[in-house]
Structure 1
Amino acid sequence: MVDQDRLFARLARSTFRSRFRLGGKERQYCLDKGPEVIDRHAADFIRQRLAPAAPINDGKQTPMRGHPVFIAQHATATCCRGCLKNGMPFPTAAR
């Protein structure tokens, strides 16, 4: 398993990843919905978009905006299997 501190340090050094920030609208959405709802949304997005062995449109399935979880996924390289594989190797064809 990848050391968590090294992983977060690498993400912080990425100019692409570090440009993703929650705006006022996304922050307010999180406050309005609460952590339980946001966590449920995140779990649903991962289950639908990353868990399948061959996700539909892999590499293009996570929008750059529209939901705080989407922004967080891009910031943490968990937006698609290709990005996820770079940070945390796992079998690509596995569910």
Structure 2
Amino acid sequence: MSSPEALFQRLSASPFRQRFHLARAEYDYFLKKGGETISAHAADFIRQRLSPAAPVNDGKQTPMRGHPVFVAQHATATCCRGCLSQWHGIPRHQEMTPAQQAWVVEVITCWLRLEMEKPAPEKKVRKNPAAPEQLNLL
């Protein structure tokens, strides 16, 4: 574990990791709750979902969206024990130490801070292909 900046430099070579960004809902949720609360959520998620030696549903326990921390976990390769081993050198099949958990939360928080410095994402407007005015009900 070096620094978040060094990690982000390595992650920048991964097209998969680079495709993750906060959607408007996650961005707004972060604004509403604040960085301190989101960081506390990250610590809880890591402690509950990743720190055990054999997490439940390892490799599938982190949703792709729905919370800013989930998106950040995929962007920073902190989503499962396999990614933690590959990208962060945190061994699998061992309970994570408090220092390892703190590192993961730091990386997530740093990535979220960088995302929140960007302009708010545009809200997605769903077009209803079968809007009432488009239906011929006569």
Match of 2:113 in 1: none
Q: Gaps (5+ residues) in structure 2?
A: 96-138
For structure 1, the 5+ residue unaligned runs are: none
Structure-2 residue corresponding to 1:57: 57
1:23 alignment counterpart: 23
Q: Distance in 2 between matches of 1:27 and 1:71?
A: 11
> Percent identity at matched positions?
63
TM-score norm. by structure 1 comes to 0.92
Over 3 Å counting, the alpha-carbon distance change for 1:55 and 1:21 in structure 2 is same
Aligned counterpart, 2:116? none
Q: Which has the higher contact order (CA 8 A, sep 6+)?
A: 1
Partner of 1:94: 94
Question: What does 1:1-95 correspond to in 2, within 5 Å?
Answer: 1-2=1-2, 4-95=4-95
Give the TM-score normalised by the residue count of structure 2: 0.65
How many residues matched?
A: 95
CA spacing shift, 1:3–1:25, aligned 2, 3 Å = closer
Q: Report if the CA contact (8 A) 2:84-2:91 is conserved.
A: no
For residues 16-58 of structure 1, the C-alpha deviation after alignment (integer angstroms, 9 at most, x for no partner) is: 0000000111111000001111011100100011100100010
